[in-house]
Amino acid sequence: MRLPKGDKELLHSVDAAFEDAARRAGEWLRCRKGCAQCCLGAFAINSLDALRLKTGMEVLRSSDRALAAKVEDRAREWVARLGNEFPGDADTGVLGESDEERGRFEEFANDAPCPALDPTGNGCDLYQWRPMTCRVFGPPVRVEDGVSLGCCELCFAGADEGEVARCEMAVPHEMEEALLEELGTKGQTVVAFALLS
């Protein structure tokens, strides 16, 4: 399965929105190369994110086999270490959707580094192919029906609500939803399983 043509437009839109939010945030935004705060802990990714990561691994295998092997080894180690506790199907990597499984996911692998994270330089080995959550982490983003703003805990320390709201990032959720519908695949997974698919 190939990435839908609209994925490039989606990523361009998201990256432009991040740059705009970062410009408005200035020093409030602490995100810098080498900061890996957002690279710790498991988080759900959709099928478009998983396909993007799979595509990134194919590109990496053809351009740098040794690095691709390191990323795959980290993903295999992650699954071997945490797979027994995975709140879903550990064979397919699909997260469970029951209330009990969702509750378990809240506490699952909260301190585990992402397998795409280079442990020596704190950089992402698949940065160009990273999931949407990684692309929007840092600036304030609306959560839960547009009611509240969430942002990285390292950013906006001491800022008042008005300052945080002024720096809000506009995320094109509709574009992403349309591409997911085009793919026709359901279910969510985590980065480690996507890297091994």
Check residue 186 and give its pLDDT. Answer: 84
pTM assigned to the model: 0.91
Query: Among 181, 196, 161, 142, which Cα is nearest to 46's?
Result: 181
Separation of alpha carbons 6 and 178, rounded Å: 9
Predicted pLDDT of residue 23: 93
Nearest to 190 by CA among 127, 133, 152, 123: 133
pLDDT per residue as tens, the chain (197 positions): 899 999 999 999 999 999 999 999 999 988 877 788 889 999 999 999 999 999 999 999 999 999 999 999 999 999 999 999 999 999 999 999 999 999 999 999 999 999 999 999 889 999 999 999 999 988 888 765 655 667 788 888 888 888 888 998 988 889 999 999 999 988 999 999 999 98
How far CA 99 is from CA of 41, 87, 88, 102, 148, in Å, comes to 20, 11, 12, 5, 23
In one-letter notation, the amino acid at residue 5 is: K
Burial letters 60-87, b for 16+ CB under 10 A, else e: beeeeeeebebbbebbeebbeebeeebb
